[in-house]
Structure 1
Amino acid sequence: MGTIRKAVIAAAGLGTRMFPITKVIEKAMLPIGRRPTIDYIVRECAAAGVGEIAIVVRRGSTQIQRYYGDDTELRALLGRRGWAEKAHSLDELASVPSITFIEQDLEDRYGTAVPVLLARDFIGDDAFFFLSGDDLLVERHGRSTLAELGRDAGGGSGYALVGQPSSASSLDRYGRLETAETDGRTYLTDLVEKDAAETRPEGGKVLINISRYAFPGEFLPVLAAVGEHEESGEYRLTDGLVEIMRSTPIAVTVSLGSYFDLGNEQGLAEASRHVVVDNR
């Protein structure tokens, strides 16, 4: 498998943890500096060599589509007022990979597996990345965890995911990756969903799941067979991974960047400070 050229980004969530602002601004359009959060993730994909992106949006949403669409009326207005140079910052929007929008009905099935299944026509038989719009990974110029993820997947079974080093205290919010080393490579041995306090490792660093995956196209039938989770009622992508792990090695790529959870106010503020202030 060569460079992964397709990516699916889940961006259909209601953003209830960010109410009331997400009542009128889609969660993926909340700003970090002069850009919406979704644009950082789109450009992360581009930096990894992705040429086609499917963004799964909430049914009836328009804000992300409008952001990436060309606004000819705005350009004409700027030209009439002699402000054509102010449109130059809009030109870079055309430099992103080809984007397909797929609608998700939130009244239908729910869970992390659903955006991937909705994108099956877009994916076809190709390998692809899957990313959550809630998770931001900021890296130094020239580094790409996603590209490394693709190489790890391509050099093995085609399956890989990113592990983010974190403190054990974060495990009430994130899934934990258990791993083992074989021939100098790191492989997944278990996925632990949001450890209870009594089962968490004490002290030190752990690897958490930040929803960045590389899959071969043949993962889709496996995921389609995943049923509703008994306790949550969700269709969980990780249940499909656990099924694959029974017979297929899944590589773990340790993150090279700084991670921010964009699904809450604190994470968004920390991301903004890191991108706008610390990296000026």
Structure 2
Amino acid sequence: MKINKALIAAAGFGTRFLPFTKTIQKEMIPVLNKPVVDYLVADLVKAGITDIVFAINEHNMQILHYFRENHRLEEYLRRMNKMHLFEEIKNLHQQANFSFVKQQDSDPYGSATPVKLAQSYLENEESFVVLMGDDIPYNADGSSEVSLMIKHLEKTGVKSLATFVEQPDSELQRFGIAKTFEKNGFQYLSELIEKPTPGTAPSNLANISKYILTPKIFELIDQQSVDSRSGELYITDTVTKLTKTEDVAIYTPRGTYLDCGYPLGWLKANLTIAKENPELRAALQKFIKEINF
């Protein structure tokens, strides 16, 4: 299966990172010297994705500017004889065909809204990738997790997939948890139980909101009502409905799931990626000893 297009949802407020996210999008929070969203784009490009659409908040244009040319910066680096630094950024806007849709204040909040907003870009595809913009599927060997998702989908012979990671019992009430069934040696999703109460979770598979979906999802979002408690429109509810019309394969990442959407997760992400750099690793180990951490 050849998948060409992907959506990155990046329209949230990032409340777990306030006050920082009052002015800076959480997807632009740096992990080492690159924003979170840069890692996602790199993974998609390695997987052969040629067209990437971002769903962004109408008030935040930072991602749009990041993936556009910056002639002023180029000229400054040239004047300062620092064009070696330009090598890091000169091709950012050329990695893929980038498009942007803006989520208005009048649109319902929630993870399904960005998918619906991108319908005109994705509705003619057989399948497409959907990623949330605040976490990283990280492989230390540099391989693409999205590529592995697509390969797993091909093995199952179906067209939709949802991604899950194992979590301990104590953490299950923070996630949507998979109820599964098995067919032909593969696991499939039968239902997503959102934040189950202790002792009621059907498995330890926690949803991390990375999907391969079909255009059927748009019709299901249209039929969906906002959550009665939060007033938000959740893609987890839509995907549960999707399981009633087609098989949705379950995929567990080979790499490390780095959740950068809250301070401790962001710190762990920085340390995980930093330890692959010998110089940074040595300096960090020395510093941690110095401060008696």
Match of 1:243? 241
What one-letter code is carried by the residue in structure 2 that aligns with 1:207?
Answer: L
SS at match of 1:199: coil
Q: Would you say the 8 A contact 1:143–1:256 is kept in 2?
A: no
Deviation at 1:90, TM superposition (A): 1.5
Q: TM-score, normalised by structure 1?
A: 0.92
Match of 1:100? 99
What one-letter code is carried by the residue in structure 1 that aligns with 2:254?
Answer: L
Where structure 1 has 5 or more consecutive residues not aligned to the other structure, the ranges are none
Q: Would you say the 8 A contact 1:125–1:216 is kept in 2?
A: no
SS at match of 1:91: coil
Q: Would you say the 8 A contact 1:9–1:54 is kept in 2?
A: yes
Deviation at 1:80, TM superposition (A): 2.0
Distance in structure 1 (CA, Å) of the matches to 2:141 and 2:57: 32
Residue 45, structure 1, aligned to residue 73, structure 2: no
Q: Would you say the 8 A contact 1:165–1:255 is kept in 2?
A: no
What one-letter code is carried by the residue in structure 1 that aligns with 2:60?
Answer: S
Deviation at 1:156, TM superposition (A): 2.7
Residue 162, structure 1, aligned to residue 163, structure 2: yes
More relative contact order, 1 or 2 (CA 8 Å, 6+ apart) = 1
Match of 1:54? 53
Once the two structures are superposed, the pairs formed by residues 1-280 of structure 1 within 5 Å of their partners are 2-126=1-125, 127-141=127-141, 143-154=143-154, 155-200=156-201, 206-280=204-278
Q: Would you say the 8 A contact 1:3–1:151 is kept in 2?
A: no
SS at match of 2:88: helix
Equivalent pairs, count: 276
What one-letter code is carried by the residue in structure 2 that aligns with 1:259?
Answer: Y
Deviation at 1:279, TM superposition (A): 4.9
- The CA RMSD measured in Å over matched residues stands at 1.8
Q: TM-score, normalised by structure 2?
A: 0.88
Where structure 2 has 5 or more consecutive residues not aligned to the other structure, the ranges are 279-293
| Superposed structure 1 runs of 4+ greater than 6 Å apart | none
What one-letter code is carried by the residue in structure 2 that aligns with 1:173?
Answer: R
